Amino acid sequence: LDGEDITALSREELRSMVAVAFEEPTLFSATVGENVLMGAGAGAGAEELDRALAVAQADFAHGLPEGTGTQVGEQGLSLSGGQRQRLALARAVVGRPRFLVLDDPLSALDVHTEAAVEAALRQVLADTTALIVAHRPSTVLLADRVALLSEGRIAAVGTHHELLRTSPEYAHLMSGLDKPGDAEGPQEGDGR
């Protein structure tokens, strides 16, 4: 990780450096603030919470009945899918991790919220290494390097623009996404 052999690190050290946010986020039966701050080190408070909520465009949390002290319930079922994803993303960025794993964490967001999150996320990604699994072209653009997976194998590697020019499969996948009528997004087994 950034030139450091992870096998030489303790599990605790490694976990403190890595954060994740998934398409299907895990939230706990706790307050909004507690869920987000689980991703921070000891001593994190309101300033870190507010910064992370802003990056994830999760300021809706302040408008909940008890603000960030609102209980979200097991898996956050009282929230929409997009709200859950944004809280999970806030938890991932709150501790300023060295390595960030994002597995399609913006899939439930509308296009305007997604654009705002991506703009804020660009600043976070300037200071961290990230592995981003994405299907939408707008999310792919967050990456410096893109690897196209096809039938379980890496079929091409390059920048988004290089792959558009050199990989017909990549160009085809990117041209068919984010168009009106593609509300379902990628389909199971379609290689995206």
The tens digit of pLDDT for each residue in 107-126 reads: 888 888 888 888 888 888 88
Prediction pTM value:
0.80
What pLDDT, on a 0 to 100 scale, did the predictor assign at position 76?
A: 67
DSSP state of 187: P
Domain boundaries, the chain: 6-143
Q: Are 107 and 185 in contact (CB under 8 A)?
A: yes
The tens digit of pLDDT for each residue in 12-69 reads: 888 888 999 988 888 888 899 999 998 887 777 889 999 999 999 999 999 999 999 9
Task: Tell me the DSSP string of 141-186.
Answer: TT-SSEEEEETTEEEEEE-HHHHHHH-HHHHHHHHTSSSTT-TT-S
Q: Check: CATH 3.40.640.10 for 6-143? A: no
Q: Is 133 helix (H, G, I), strand (E, B) or coil?
A: strand
Query: In this structure, what are the phi and psi dihedrals at residue 56, rounded to the nearest 5 degrees?
Result: -85, 5
